[in-house]
Structure 1
Amino acid sequence: MKAITFDAPGEPSVLKLTTVDAPQLKPHEIRIKMKSAGVNRADCTQREGNYPPPAGASPILGLECCGTVQEIGAEVPAGSFKVGERVMALLSGGGYAEEVCIDAGCVLHAPEALSDHEAGGLMEATLTAYLNIFEIGGARSGQMVLIHGGGSGVGTQAIALCKAQGIRTLVTAGSDEKVQQCLKHGATWAFNYKTEDWAGNVKLSAKPAGVHVVLDCVGAPYLAKNLDCLAPDGCIVYISALAGAIVKELDLWVLMRKRLRLIGSTMRSRSVAFKAALVRKFAEDFKTELRRGELRPVVDKVYPLESAESAHARMQAGRNFGKIILTTTLL
């Protein structure tokens, strides 16, 4: 089968379309013939050599996909899937290829309301937002959530999830255009972190208590301001550290006085059982929104699989709003 591979870590130019062996189907798995795959920041980090796949996962990039069921393992519950059905899946790797095999518990039927490109970019970003804001952060209706990187795939889906649950969102983005796009997408407030005092604006907007959850992909430079913006008993969930991971100073009195939590979170290294349970709970909690297409990912740009280099370059330059998608339909 055709797949995107690289021989050594490096810039986007190391990515190339090659022929590799198709994955072997295990009894609990489904083989999916790929239609589309989302591009995620984690893919870029792996390509750079800084995010190796977990043990047993495919070394091929790609953490989410949409495609059709091609083969079903012997231990997959009868009737849960049929050959030829359109599905979407949360992957530990392997999405940048013509075929992927994945545990059936990490697969959902793709909503009819979504295109192949939208379904291909839904699972990783949406479940990242769901896990960290709701399951870990404990956000609930009537509260406020601060989302950094509001124009990213995770950020845009976090806005949509919170809006569906009656949670007001404050987001940061890197340009006035992205600020307006975030507001149009459903953010309650949005601030340009390059030109505005985002922390001051968040504190003013979130009066009197502050925000209850911060979803942070920036890292160390934002820690003190995040803490200042939090309501008592609030938490910061770190899903990346794009601007640095080393904090030189931390005022522990702030944590103790407001009873705050700092949480680090990644999903890729979680067990298959954990991911399958998360997929089931998400599908139940948002079944109506999924069926209606109300969690439709924002598709920024679609590239053929062989143009993965261009897709990664666009993401690294920060030019995207929403999801960048790779499609195999042109192979």
Structure 2
Amino acid sequence: MKPAIEGGKPVRNDLLVFGKPDIREEDIAEVADTLRSGWIGQGPKTERFEQMFAEYTGAKHTIAVNSCTAALYLSLGMLELGPEDEVITSPLTYPSTANVILHHGAKVRFADVDERSGNIDPVNVQEQITTKTRAVIPVHLHGYPVDMEAILYLAEYASIAVIVDAAHAIEARYMDKHVGVLGDAACFSFYATKNITTADGGMITTDRDDWAKRFKLLRMHGITRTAWNRFREKGFKFYDTVAPGYKLNLTDLQSAMALHQMERIEDSYQRRTEVWKAYDAALGQMKGIETPPEPGEGRHAHHLYPVRLKLEQLSITRDEFLEALKAEGIGAGIHFISLHLHSFYRDTFGFVPL
């Protein structure tokens, strides 16, 4: 069969959009109900979303915010980082993971990654730890769970915090635990392409009472009572500003999108797993293509299906491969170009490719 890029007929008549959200009529109705309710800011539906996420992950506390970036920023803020402090993370991630370290005035220290999973390598993390290290941010890349047993052991030994970037890992488990209960805090994303979406949004999970209390305070300007709390309490209640907080809360309009998605989360996961296995069967024996691995311990969230091209076995480049997929009506992307190769990190810190 002649490829579409060479004039053949595309395998699809319509574009298979990369990361198209699974929005159904019940989700639309829930959002419409919120619009009609007269309360669209942070309120009862955000509280319900937090409760559902806590039940799903097993976390003691869940704090909804307006992005995973906000979740990471608030979590790192608990450490009161300074210019001499260092935070270790993976370079194979979205820029926000490293950017928040710089926003807190600390230094980024990249650890190498495992060749197959793309996850941070605990052995190299150990090599990167110094007396200036304050935290490590492991990233569950594509939804593949990091070796958290090793990371937590290193963190305890070195007395450093573990802030988990779980943006891809809503359904992921490590051994018999959800990834949201491993570490001091875990940060999730509900961006448009994620397995659960609120158009944009995030969630922090933590079992630390002091951290949770601080997160709830700082996400809403550092005030002691939100508008919803003042509205539902009897009698006039004013608020006090007890800390210089931020505007990082999630609204009910956004949370409403997630409620029914949470109800069908396991059904959606099983459907994605079926598609994943179909890809494995179709691509597994193809020359020049390496399909993604499954974890030996735990459960992959099956968020992204990354294939590696063995270019020495192919007659085209990576970009030509992507163009060929596009011509067939199949959306695809690159996840990710390592941060040390991006111009800001390369030029500012002198990172060079090995």
TM-score calculated relative to the size of structure 2: 0.33
- Which structure is larger by alpha-carbon Rg, 1 or 2? 2
What TM-score does the superposition give when structure 1 sets the normalisation length?
0.35
Larger fraction in helix: 2
